[in-house]
């Protein structure tokens, strides 16, 4: 029996260093106006410092250049990194690269690891995961996949239309989910993953799709619309086995989702700090906003919801470390929709307490708010995760026999009377004796 919420002192020291480093060195990057080349120049020394401290790409095992820290420690690190959109880039575990590196490490051939994984981990390459398609293709329901790949000689020829492939424009390679066996009776065995280099013939990255965040998405880090038009890549670029696309996707999406939830803890914490600070700073109606009960309610509700989200996230991470991503499906889905709501609500309250300043772009809350809205959609919309949770929960239940619910009181009363019949009889007998005795005493007293 062991329940332990403590962090070992050596790791806490690393977290303390990270906290200071992220605030002092990474947050300032948010307000610098520069281009991709300038940004790359700025982040290299920071990434080198992280590498020198052994905190680079910690989600991967040592044989793949990481520290093998596992998901719980990664969760605690992401909580700090996630306070700024650039944190994960500085620590070598930003999406979608972190998820892509995990599946390359798990399913890549030696050659694929050398060609794609190593430069990805070194921070020299960026990558993209290209699965979602516009309607009527695959979105929340991945079995609706329409993009295909057929074999021609020693090449795969890919045709299809994808969108919202994050970082498509800046990726050195894309991992694309395609149908390779459309007639397979098992719909989960129809798809495969293929690695597409950015210069593959027939790869047409049309645009970054304008969206609620896009105006502020720097350095081409947008969500791309991509046409695969007889796009040709060598057969060796198949990642995992033919027909294993869903299996590989599951291994990627589980950790990928929880990594998002971990980053949201950092975003929510930052908004919460702003909420508390402003409530103490701003006065009106004869006192600080912090003295108004409504504002106190926002603070208390936010603190409680963030604590719940944190524990749920770390518990899901712990379960993944103990039993693997598949075993933690329910926990991951639960925190995916719950965490997205907490993130949204805390930022919303922080905006409100700042009034018009909160609505302005002079502080980061409005940008955080727009980005938070997407959290309810990407990596599976809330509704689908709720379905997953409900299904998993219902596996632990069976319908009660007969027409009544298990807790039907008249039925239970009858059963209870049968169960305790002997004792009840003794009680009844006792009561009868007691009332006879009381009546007799009354007679004697009356003379
Ligand atoms: C910022 C951002 C980044 C993204 N990055 C990537 C990426 O890198 N790679 C990639 O491949 N994709 C990416 N996506 C796409 C994302 O994963 C999809 O948007 C998501 O899976 C939902 O698919 P869809 O948009 O086609 O919604 P649809 O499938 O059209 O669903 C629309 C809505 O229908 C409802 N719905 C769907 N199913 C159910 C159900 N079973 N029960 C109840 N309601 C339901 C939900 O409300 C849902 O929002 C990104 C999206 C965003 C917003």
Confidence of residue 377 (pLDDT cuts 50, 70, 90): very high
Is the beta carbon of 164 within 6 A of some atom in ligand 1? Answer: yes
Higher pLDDT among residues 98 and 276, named by residue: 276
Q: What angle do CA 175, 164, 360 make, to 5 degrees?
A: 135
**pLDDT score at 218:** 64
How long is the chain? 447
Instruction: State which of 100, 103, 132 you would mutate to test the pocket of ligand 1, scoring each by most atoms of that ligand within 8 A of its C-beta.
Output: 132
Rounded to the nearest 10 degrees, how much is the dihedral formed by the CA atoms of 138, 317, 92, 231?
Answer: -20
Mean pLDDT value of segment 121-127: 91
- In terms of Cα–Cα distance, which of 251, 230, 254 is closest to 147? 230
Strands 173-179 and 127-130: parallel
Of all protein residues, the one whose alpha carbon is nearest to atom 19 of ligand 1 is 378
**pLDDT score at 60:** 79
Mean pLDDT value of segment 219-244: 94
In the beta sheet, which residues pair with residue 151? 156
Instruction: State which of 139, 144, 216, 370 you would mutate to test the pocket of ligand 1, scoring each by most atoms of that ligand within 8 A of its C-beta.
Output: 139
Say yes or no to pLDDT of 335 above 80. Answer: yes
**pLDDT score at 404:** 97
55 close to 41: Cβ distance less than 8 angstroms? no
Of all protein residues, the one whose alpha carbon is nearest to atom 1 of ligand 1 is 374
Is the beta carbon of 132 within 6 A of some atom in ligand 1? Answer: yes
**pLDDT score at 217:** 66
* 3-state SS class at 191: strand
**pLDDT score at 28:** 97
**pLDDT score at 179:** 98
* 3-state SS class at 35: coil
How many helices (H) and strands (E) would you count in the chain?
15, 10
Q: Residue 199: how many CB atoms within 10 A of its CB?
A: 8
Of all protein residues, the one whose alpha carbon is nearest to atom 45 of ligand 1 is 383
Mean pLDDT value of segment 112-138: 95
Mean pLDDT value of segment 180-208: 97
**pLDDT score at 66:** 72
Within 13 Å and on the Cβ side, how many CA atoms surround 36? 10
CA distance 316 to 311: 8
Of all protein residues, the one whose alpha carbon is nearest to atom 52 of ligand 1 is 378
Say yes or no to pLDDT of 65 above 80. Answer: no
Mean pLDDT value of segment 300-305: 98
Distances (CA, A) of 75 to 97, 379, 409: 17, 18, 46
* 3-state SS class at 133: coil
pTM of the model: 0.91
182 close to 190: Cβ distance less than 8 angstroms? yes
Ligand 1: centre distance to CA 219 (Å): 24
User: What is the token pair recorded at 435?
Assistant: 């009332």
Say yes or no to pLDDT of 283 above 80. Answer: yes
Is the beta carbon of 377 within 6 A of some atom in ligand 1? Answer: yes
- In terms of Cα–Cα distance, which of 71, 189, 65, 169 is closest to 119? 65
Say yes or no to pLDDT of 436 above 90. Answer: no
Say yes or no to pLDDT of 59 above 90. Answer: no
CA distance 115 to 123: 13
Say yes or no to pLDDT of 203 above 70. Answer: yes
**pLDDT score at 366:** 96
CA distance 319 to 248: 19
Say yes or no to pLDDT of 391 above 90. Answer: yes
DSSP symbol at 142: G
Instruction: State which of 140, 141, 343 you would mutate to test the pocket of ligand 1, scoring each by most atoms of that ligand within 8 A of its C-beta.
Output: 140
Percent residues over pLDDT 90 in the chain: 81
Is the beta carbon of 163 within 6 A of some atom in ligand 1? Answer: no
**pLDDT score at 93:** 86
| Alpha-carbon radius of gyration of the chain | 29
- List Cβ neighbours of 337 (8 Å cut-off, separation of 6 or more): 376, 382, 385, 386, 389
**With the C-alpha atoms ordered 171, 173, 175, 181, is the resulting torsion angle positive or negative?**
positive
CA distance 55 to 67: 7
Is the beta carbon of 144 within 6 A of some atom in ligand 1? Answer: no
Confidence of residue 216 (pLDDT cuts 50, 70, 90): low
Q: What is the DSSP track for 35-77?
A: -HHHHHHHHHHHHHHHHHTT-SSTTS-GGGTS---HHHHHHHH
User: What is the token pair recorded at 84?
Assistant: 């700024």
Strands 173-179 and 191-197: antiparallel
Is the beta carbon of 381 within 6 A of some atom in ligand 1? Answer: yes
Ligand 1: centre distance to CA 217 (Å): 20
């Amino acid at each position: 029996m062991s329940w332990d919420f403590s962090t070992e002192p050596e790791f806490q020291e690393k977290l303390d260093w990270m906290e200071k480093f992220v605030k002092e060195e990474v947050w300032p990057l948010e307000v610098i106006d520069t281009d991709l080349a300038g940004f790359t120049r700025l982040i290299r020394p920071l990434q080198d410092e992280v590498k020198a401290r052994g905190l680079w790409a910690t989600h991967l095992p040592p044989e793949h250049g990481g520290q093998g820290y596992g998901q719980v420690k990664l969760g605690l690190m992401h909580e700090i990194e996630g306070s700024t959109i650039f944190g994960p880039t500085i620590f070598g575990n930003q999406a979608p690269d972190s998820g892509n590196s995990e599946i390359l490490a798990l399913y890549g051939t030696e050659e694929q690891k050398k060609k794609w994984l190593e430069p990805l981990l070194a921070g020299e390459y960026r990558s993209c995961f290209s699965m979602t398609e516009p309607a009527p293709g695959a979105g929340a329901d991945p079995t609706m996949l329409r993009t295909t790949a057929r074999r021609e000689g020693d090449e795969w020829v890919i045709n299809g239309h994808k969108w919202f492939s994050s970082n498509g424009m800046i990726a050195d390679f894309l991992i694309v989910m395609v149908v390779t066996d459309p007639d397979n009776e098992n719909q989960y065995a129809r798809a495969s993953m293929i690695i597409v280099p950015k210069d593959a013939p027939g790869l047409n990255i049309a645009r970054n799709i304008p969206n609620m965040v896009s105006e502020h998405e720097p350095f081409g880090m947008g969500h791309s619309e991509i046409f695969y038009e007889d796009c040709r890549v060598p057969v060796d670029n198949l990642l995992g086995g033919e027909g294993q696309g869903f299996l590989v996707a599951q291994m990627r999406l589980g950790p990928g989702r929880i990594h998002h939830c971990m980053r949201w803890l950092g975003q929510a914490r930052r908004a919460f700090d702003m909420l508390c600070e402003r409530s103490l700073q701003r006065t009106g109606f004869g006192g600080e906003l912090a003295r108004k009960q409504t504002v106190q309610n926002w603070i208390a509700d936010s603190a409680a919801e963030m604590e719940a989200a944190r524990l749920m996230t770390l518990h899901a991470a712990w379960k993944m470390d103990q039993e693997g991503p598949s075993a933690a499906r329910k926990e991951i889905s639960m925190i995916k929709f719950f965490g997205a709501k907490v993130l949204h609500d805390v930022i919303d309250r922080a905006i409100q307490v700042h009034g018009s300043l909160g609505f302005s772009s002079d502080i980061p809350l409005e940008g955080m708010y727009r980005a938070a809205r997407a959290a309810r959609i990407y990596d599976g919309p809330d509704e689908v995760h709720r379905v997953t949770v409900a299904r998993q929960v219902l596996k632990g239940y069976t319908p009660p026999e007969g027409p009544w619910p298990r807790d039907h009181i008249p039925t239970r009363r009858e059963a209870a009377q049968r169960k305790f019949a002997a004792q009840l009889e003794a009680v009844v007998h006792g009561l009868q004796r007691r009332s006879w005795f009381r009546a007799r005493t009354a007679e004697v007293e009356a003379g």
